[in-house]
Chain A
Amino acid sequence: MEIDLKKPILDKNDKLAAELRERFAKNHVYVVDLLASPGSGKTSTILATIEALRDEFNIGVIEGDIASNVDAKKISNQGIPAVQINTGGACHLEADMIKRAVDVLDLERLDLIIIENVGNLVCPTDFDLGENAKIMILSVPEGDDKPLKYPGVFQVSQAVILNKTDTLPVFNFDTEAFEKAVHELNPHAPIFPIAATKGTGVDDWADWLAERIRQA
């Protein structure tokens, strides 16, 4: 017997993500899902973004990690509410994990939620978390050829942050080639060169984000 299903495989996740998106909109919270490799500077970028935006907005952070809560501690040390999700081995976050984390946060009070996804350039790209924007961070030491190796993550992102630009003098990173490759994959995504730990370039990124938070 043949049974016609025509059912999206990630049906459950997509429905839950849609519910979350509605909930975020109702509460006027803008949600960002940060995608990057381990060590590229996601936590550092979150800390720099908090510094730039905390006077104007109430910010919450969801930290996805395979294990540990060191990143969430770094955030909560800044007086920012942070929820740690330990994925227990999973290589990406899914909407049900975000839902559990969001239940702990005071959505009504928040303007911005930043999600630090699990460090991985592949798996998280296929999962909708109900976010307003996926943002990709690449760091200079990873090399300018990454758009060619991981096109998917560059395509699903609404903006690309190039971090650790302070290390450009010591790495053979062709910024022009990188920008061209990103542009070909995703002509609408702006690229923000920053050095998160030095604060360089963070203002342009923060302005771009602030504009969107105000409209949420």
Chain B
Amino acid sequence: MHEMGIISGVIDAVTASAQAAGATKVDKITLSIGEMTEVIMDCLTFAFEALSEGTMCEGAELKVNIVKPHSICLECSTEFDHDRFHLACPNCGSYETVLLEGREMTIDGIEVDVPTEGDDGADPSADGEASESMPTSDGDAAASGQTAGRTAPSADSPASCDERNPAPSACRDVPSPEPSAEPTL
């Protein structure tokens, strides 16, 4: 369920970095997710497809590296891999272990399309793609950040994907506008 919130965080962060690099489109996003977290991969993929629509992340490949749990035994110093349920040291049977890997939730990196302004000799096909095909995708999509957005006062603050493409409230698990905090004294 919280995959929606996780993915909207990913899209926000990725969009910010991509825009800072002058990119118009994100081609690939690589995440590392530890097996000891409560993240369900199918839900991640679904959330990504739903929330990336109309953003510069739309159509990007989402690659998820699953990190297997790995612990160290504090009694005998053995390092070992394990699953979500069996945490005891396979060498001495101790439960005095510390998880070294397996709770990761990170954005490792992204691949983006940066349109060239003509002076750094980058791949011309990438250039053409960015300047010709992108703006034809209708209306308020990511491309508008490149053209109309340039003169808008908010252009330098990375717009969140949420604002561009608010998900239907029924499937959001991040609170829509402002959750209320009311004292009931």
Contacts and interface: CB of A to CB of B under 8 A. Distances in A.
Interface of A: 1-12, 69, 72-73, 76, 81-92, 94, 97, 100-101, 103-104, 120, 122-123, 125-127, 148, 151-152, 155, 183-185, 187
Contacts of A187: 95-96
Nearest to A151: B84
A5 to B, nearest CB: 5
A152 B36 contact: yes
Nearest to A12: B9
Interface in B2-43: 2, 5-6, 9-10, 13-14, 17-18, 21, 23, 31, 36-39
A76 to B, nearest CB: 5
28 contacts: A3-B17, A3-B110, A5-B107, A6-B108, A6-B109, A7-B106, A8-B105, A9-B6, A10-B9, A11-B9, A81-B183, A83-B181, A83-B182, A84-B180, A86-B179, A89-B176, A92-B2, A97-B181, A101-B181, A122-B1, A122-B2, A122-B38, A151-B85, A152-B37, A152-B38, A152-B84, A184-B95, A185-B87
B38 A125 contact: yes
A3 B2 contact: no
Given A1-B21, A86-B179, A148-B85, A8 B106 contact: yes
Contact of A5 (B13, B105, B172, B174): B13
Given A6-B109, A7-B106, A151-B85, A123 B95 contact: no
Contacts of B183: 81-84, 104
Interface residues of B, number: 49
Nearest to B106: A8
A82 B23 contact: no
A89 B172 contact: yes
Contacts of B96: 187
Given A89-B175, A185-B85, A7 B180 contact: no
Contacts of A2: 109-111
Interface of A is mostly: mixed
B184 interface: yes
A7 B13 contact: yes
Nearest to B3: A123
A187 B86 CA distance: 12
B95 A126 contact: no
B85 A126 contact: no
A86 B177 CA distance: 11
B88 interface: yes
B173 interface: yes
Interface in B72-109: 84-88, 95-96, 105-109
Contacts of A88: 175-177, 179-180
A81 to B, nearest CB: 6
A123 B4 CA distance: 11
B50 interface: no
B185 interface: yes
Nearest to B184: A72
A184 B184 contact: no
Contact of A126 (B23, B38, B182): B38
B56 interface: no
B181 to A, nearest CB: 4
Contacts of A125: 38
Which 7 residue pairs are nearest across A and B when measured between Cβ atoms? Answer: A187-B95, A123-B2, A100-B181, A88-B175, A91-B1, A72-B184, A9-B105
A86 B9 CA distance: 21
A5 B9 contact: no
B18 A3 contact: yes
A100 B182 CA distance: 9
B60 interface: no
Contacts of B38: 122-123, 125-126, 152
